[in-house]
Amino acid sequence: MNPLDEITLTGLRATAFHGVLDHERRDGQVFVIDVTVMLPLGDAATTDDLARTIHYGELAAEVVAAVESNPVDLIETVAERIATVVLAHERAMFTRVTVHKPHAPISVPFDDVSVTITRGRPERLTPTGFSL
């Protein structure tokens, strides 16, 4: 078995103009993103070679750029966009993306609203879920 390891970025912040309401599109708000990438890291650890992993600094910048581009209505769409960016990295096998919208227009007190999705490369998916 070739187990997958994880790189996790927690609490990335991006200001964007996503939302259904006019004021969300006009004024924008901060979105907070958590991304976990599942990939084999044994080669990178053994060789101490950055080329055998995903540069998390570059990935963080790509994720923030994806969030800040092209406003959409739903954070579900934003999460899907981020997953596509992550899986564009050849070494990424699966990703778990959470998009938090801490200033969502909700009329009752709350701490956070978030959407989490898990995606993998199509060749790694089976009818019953993920395969390694």
pLDDT for position 127: 43
pLDDT of residue 87: 97
| pLDDT value for 2 | 61
Q: Is 101 a known active-site residue?
A: yes
Map tokens 């963080």 to a residue. Answer: 60
Closest C-alpha to 66, from 105, 12, 122: 12
Entry pTM: 0.90
60-76 residue pLDDT tens: 999 999 999 999 999 99
Residues with Cβ < 8 Å from 11, sequence gap 6 or more?
A: 32, 33, 34
Q: How would CATH label the architecture of 5-130?
A: 2-Layer Sandwich (3.30)
- Give the C-alpha separation, 113 to 103, whole Å: 8
Task: Exactly one of 101, 102, 123, 126 is catalytic; name it.
Answer: 101
Q: What percent of the chain clears pLDDT 70, i.e. is strictly above it?
A: 90
Q: What are the mean pLDDT values of the chain's consecutive 10-residue runs (132 residues total)?
A: 86 97 96 97 95 97 98 98 97 97 96 97 56 50
Provide the residue ranges of all domains of the chain, joining segments of one domain with +: 5-130
Q: What is the dihedral of CA 108, 109, 110, 111, to 10 degrees?
A: 160
Amino acid 121: pLDDT: 82
